[in-house]
Amino acid sequence: MGVAWPAVRVDMGQPLAAVGVFTVVGTVCAATSSYFAGAIVKRVGTGAVVAASCLMTALALVGYAYAPSFAWLVALSIPMGIGAGAVDTSLNHFVAAHYSSRHMNWLHGFWGVGATLGPLIMSWSVTTPTGWTLGTRTIGLMQLALAVALFLTLALWAREKATHAEDASAQSAAASFKPNNPLATWLAPTCFLLYVSAEMGTGLWAASILATDRGMPLAQAGVWVAVYFGAITAGRFAVGLVANWLGNRKLVQLGIVVAALGAALFAAHGWIGDTSLAGLVLMGLGCAPIFPSLMHETARRFPEDVASKVISRQMIFAYIGVSVVPAAFGLLATWAGLGAIMPMVVVMLLGLLGVTTWLNRLT
């Protein structure tokens, strides 16, 4: 949507900040489904939740392509948000409980493959006569094919759960935790709020910053957004090779420092010109280990019963970071200009560094 929005808002006759309307609606729905995902998984299993969620989001995406008005985009964000929230919470909890930090990084690396393909498909789409609707229809049909594949392989999930149940129980029994600190159970979700706000705020507004503020053609700006997500993707696959050796906490803090330097470099266009584009790559590489390593560490910071609740909170806070804060960036851009967004991202990353340090001491 970051690449599509400049064209969508013109077609729909909407102001720059209107992107926040349907993203906030989607976030409320995603946060609600994240909250209830744990209880639903216990009833029907992770596989069924993932497959059903994939189908809902696929239908919503295809619906975007045929939406006759902005109100329809908002309405379709309801099934989009419900599906997205449920699949995120259930998948992250499944992998955190049953697999290593390496696998968590690779899970999110493949998320990055999709996050990279999306802007590339949309960059191509906006140059065609059909425009952005071709991109949403194409991605929706890809998602629909994935939903079919997931329904056909439901039996694999139950078998995987049974295979790892004994290992998970042994790890839980052997682990030792500091006395549970209620503050820590809220600091962990706060980390996700700050991180996702920075990562997705950049992903949503980078194309507008480049096209509107710096005069770059929209299709080229979309490619740079894809490069940003591509750096996150490549970084996550690379981190997966060393994650078990370095450990989650070192990876998170090193990533934050690199991401903050990259964001500051991208913000410095007025002083260094097009060299600032390297900041998007550097920020992407820094972002790579943060989300998956924070998520995987949750199962090691807290006992199993507490960890499942904290992961649900983390996903709720992450969805606030996906939409509410980037939408607020739109209001900031309307008031102070698009150039104010990246300095705010730097501030958020520095805040994240402080919160993770505090959380590490408590757990």
d(CA 344, CA 350): 10
Distances (CA, A) of 282 to 5, 230, 235, 252: 25, 11, 10, 15
SS percent in the chain: helix, strand, coil, step 5: 90, 0, 10
pTM value > 0.85: no
Burial of 212 (0-12, 13-18, 19+ CB in 10 A): middle
Query: What is the secondary structure of 317-346 as a DSSP string?
Result: HHHHHHHHHHHHHHHHHHHH-GGGHHHHHH
pLDDT in tens, the chain (363 residues): 777 888 888 888 888 778 778 778 887 888 888 888 878 888 888 899 999 999 999 999 999 999 888 899 999 999 999 998 888 888 888 888 778 888 888 888 888 788 778 878 888 888 888 888 999 999 999 999 999 999 999 988 877 654 444 444 444 444 556 666 789 999 999 999 999 999 988 988 888 888 888 878 878 888 888 899 889 988 988 888 877 778 889 999 999 999 999 999 999 987 888 888 999 999 999 999 999 999 889 888 888 778 878 888 898 898 788 777 877 887 888 888 888 889 999 999 999 999 999 999 998
Contact 6, 17 (CB under 8 A): no
* CA nearest to 357, candidates 224, 232, 184, 173: 184
d(CA 119, CA 112): 11
The secondary element (H helix, E strand) that includes residue 177 is none
Q: Pick one of 1.20.1250.20, 1.20.58.220, 3.40.50.800, 1.20.1440.230 as the CATH number of 5-166+180-362.
A: 1.20.1250.20
